[in-house]
């Protein structure tokens, strides 16, 4: 049996550069701002980390009470999808929960292991197997690349009390890094499902929401996606968003799917199943 490929080479090209630029910018603002001393900033970050850790624990307990944890016994049809994505990406153990909600959404959280992935129940009604595997792989990509704990750390740094201008600048930089993380996680999702077309159709269905159940709804979603970046206001609004426009995510996936790196990594992660 060939050795399993354990890699993070699917990380979006500029994600780490943007992270370091964000951190340097945040540290620069901290050093220059007159409204917060370095000592106070360190204390603030520690307080934010402790609060986030406590909040994560509380959220985890709430999930256990109100959501269904996926196991081979509770949701036998979904367990192999999760296991296959985990094998392909060689991600640390995670707990997956299904939360009753009509919104098409998923997210991951956690400071320590095991991290938690939350799938809204409506996803199981709208997405097919490969599309679910993309979504699960996307969230596993966040875990594998350290986004879950880095998001808390960098977000805490960006939230340090400062002047309005400095706070706005740090928040913009933080959101810029958030959007780069989404591109990386999309690549992970595509490697997890092994099907670029299904990765893109999953993104389209997420945009469509409840309309994804009908062909007409999907066509309306595609029209909205294609027009997303036409307006200047939409491009400006994206600067404040944690996620890129769907049209940009689709374009990035198409470009990555054509690359030799994707072909190499896809072949490698597929061998992890052997």
Strand arrangement, sheet containing 115-120:
68-69, 94-99, 115-120, 106-109
Give the gyration radius of the chain's Cα atoms: 19
Q: In this structure, are strands 94-99 and 68-69 parallel, antiparallel, or unpaired?
A: antiparallel
Query: Higher-confidence residue: 152 or 82?
Result: 82
Alpha carbon dihedral 142, 133, 216, 182, in 10-degree steps, equals: 10
Distance CA 177, CA 103 (A): 25
Domain segments of the chain as ranges: 15-271
Distances (CA, A) of 196 to 16, 112, 131, 191, 258: 24, 31, 10, 8, 10
Question: At what angle are helices 164-193 and 79-89 packed, to 10 degrees?
Answer: 110
pLDDT band for position 59 (cuts 50, 70, 90): low
- In the predicted model, is pLDDT for residue 145 greater than 50? yes
> The whole model's pTM is what?
0.79
For the stretch 183-192, pLDDT in tens is: 999 999 999 9
For the stretch 69-127, pLDDT in tens is: 999 999 999 999 999 999 999 999 999 999 999 899 999 888 778 888 999 999 999 99
């Amino acid at each position: 049996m060939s050795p399993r490929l354990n890699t993070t080479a699917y990380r979006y090209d500029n994600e780490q550069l943007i992270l370091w630029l964000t951190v340097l910018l945040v540290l620069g603002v901290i050093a220059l701002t007159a409204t917060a001393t370095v000592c106070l900033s360190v204390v603030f970050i520690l307080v934010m980390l402790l609060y986030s850790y406590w909040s994560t624990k509380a959220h985890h307990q709430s999930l256990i009470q109100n959501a269904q944890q996926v196991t081979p016994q509770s949701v036998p049809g979904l367990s192999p999808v999760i296991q296959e994505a985990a094998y392909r990406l060689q991600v640390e153990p995670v707990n997956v929960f299904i939360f009753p909600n009509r919104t098409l959404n998923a997210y991951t959280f956690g400071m320590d292991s095991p991290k938690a992935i939350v799938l809204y129940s409506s996803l199981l009604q709208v997405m097919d197997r490969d599309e679910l595997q993309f979504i699960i792989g996307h969230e596993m990509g966040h875990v594998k690349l350290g986004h879950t704990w880095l998001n808390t750390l960098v977000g805490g740094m960006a939230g340090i009390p400062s002047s309005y201008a400095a706070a706005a600048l740090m928040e913009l930089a933080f959101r810029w890094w958030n959007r780069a993380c989404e591109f990386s996680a999309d690549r992970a999702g595509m490697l997890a499902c092994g099907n670029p077309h299904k990765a893109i159709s999953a993104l389209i269905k997420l945009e469509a929401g409840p309309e994804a159940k009908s062909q007409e709804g999907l066509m309306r979603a595609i029209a909205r996606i294609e027009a997303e970046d036409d307006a200047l206001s939409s491009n400006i609004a994206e600067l404040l968003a944690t996620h890129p426009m769907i049209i940009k995510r689709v374009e990035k996936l198409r470009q990555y799917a054509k690359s030799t790196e994707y072909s190499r990594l896809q072949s490698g992660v597929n061998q992890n199943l052997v």
